[in-house]
Chains A and B, each alone.
Chain A
Amino acid sequence: LAKTTQPISMDSYEGQEVNITCSHNNIATNDYITWYQQFPSQGPRFIIQGYKTKVTNEVASLFIPADRKSSTLSLPRVSLSDTAVYYCLVGVAPYNQGGKLIFGQGTELSVKP
């Protein structure tokens, strides 16, 4: 499984757009990029997944450059309820890696009023 590097923490204010970048220099050809969100005292939940270019859903956008060595999770107009830890995972589909998902440190996002 490819190793990922993310910032440990980020601060933002309500209404701002937040971009969290993840580096995965040794990503393999068959690897997908998946982001999870974890609120305090809860298990992580799936946000978005992509392979290349851009993916958008009702929660976030995921930007992946052509070399796929990094990816950026974009959260539009964050609110206080977006305060959470965000994890970037890289691995071969099927998306859930046969249950063998390896989570890194994650990025702790703090949204302030």
Chain B
Amino acid sequence: NAGVTQTPKFQVLKTGQSMTLQCAQDMNHEYMSWYRQDPGMGLRLIHYSVGAGITDQGEVPNGYNVSRSTTEDFPLRLLSAAPSQTSVYFCASSSARTDSSSGNTIYFGEGSWLTVV
């Protein structure tokens, strides 16, 4: 069981470049989210999705785009990278079935370290 898989793990971008951080989960979870974590800070929610075809903004959505064409995948796109987007990005997924054994657990990926120069 792979859980939540993020790629790439490390990436260096030049200012103005665009890229996509990939996130995939194999647990058939309805909910998926993207967070960023700056050094010494807590996690901040970028975008989230409650199901295929449905996305919404979190706390810090500017400069990022998401889509949810399938249940499994939730890619995060940086439209025009800026140094302020240097951060660690975490993807998370969880089940909508609260009566299941995993109903109260959020699964996080291992993180993607992004540096924008």
Contact = CB atoms under 8 A, between A and B. Distances in A.
A104 interface: yes
A41 B39 CA distance: 10
A110 B10 CA distance: 27
Interface residues of B, number: 31
A113 interface: no
Contact of B33 (A34, A95, A100, A106): A100
Contact of A43 (B44, B92, B98): B92
B106 A102 contact: no
A94 to B, nearest CB: 4
Contacts, number: 74
A93 interface: yes
B105 A46 contact: yes
Interface string B21-41: 000000000011101000001
B94 A99 contact: yes
Given A87-B42, A93-B98, A106-B42, A99 B49 contact: yes
Contact residues of B: prevailing secondary structure: strand
Interface of A: 34, 36, 41-46, 49, 85, 87, 93-96, 98-106
Given A43-B109, A99-B94, A101-B106, 9 more contacts: A43-B92, A43-B110, A44-B43, A94-B103, A96-B105, A99-B93, A101-B45, A103-B35, A104-B42
18 contacts: A36-B106, A42-B110, A43-B90, A43-B92, A43-B108, A44-B106, A44-B108, A46-B106, A95-B98, A96-B103, A98-B48, A99-B31, A99-B48, A99-B93, A99-B94, A102-B58, A104-B42, A105-B42
